[in-house]
Amino acid sequence: MNTIQRNFQAVLGVSTLLILGACANGQAPANPTGNALPQTSAAYTQYGVVQSIDLVQQQVATGSGTVGAGTIAGAVVGGILGHQVGGGSGNTAATVLGAAGGAYAGHALENNNQATQLVNAYQFTVRLSNGSYQTYTQTTSTDIRVGDRVQIDNGTLRRY
């Protein structure tokens, strides 16, 4: 196998990893819309009466969780270091593995250094129609008051 083919395979492998890495998102997205913060896994509608409302502060990540400069820089550095190892097809494998490892490490460092901010949120305690109590947190109150009947769709409250 000549040098051009080896280099093409290495570039193809690194490109594939970067594209797949761009598609992956291992964390929940930040809440840019200001609606409900994920608190429950209910996938259906419930009804209840608001028992109490408390103002709380929650930390929200300000980063996007997507591939950024750290991921790309890690892939490049890892690919370069991996290319220094072995010869022949082992060299290609080392280059690809180095790029993948570097991309993973760069993405992890980027996520660890992600900024957070405190946002005001409303914590609603609701007595559900089945008699149980559940707490929901939203960044907007949408004019809900204690004693209001509410409909809960996927963890988001609204008056009805």
Residues of the chain with CATH 2.40.50: 31-63+115-160
pLDDT band at 42 (very low <50, low <70, confident <90, very high): very low
Under CATH, which architecture does the 31-63+115-160 domain have? Beta Barrel (2.40)
**CB-count burial class (<10 Å; 0-12, 13-18, 19+) for 39:** middle
pTM for this prediction: 0.43
Tell me what percent of the residues of the chain surpass a pLDDT of 70.
66
pLDDT at 151: 93
**In degrees rounded to 5, what are phi and psi of residue 122?**
-110, 130
Residue 30 has pLDDT above 50, yes or no: no
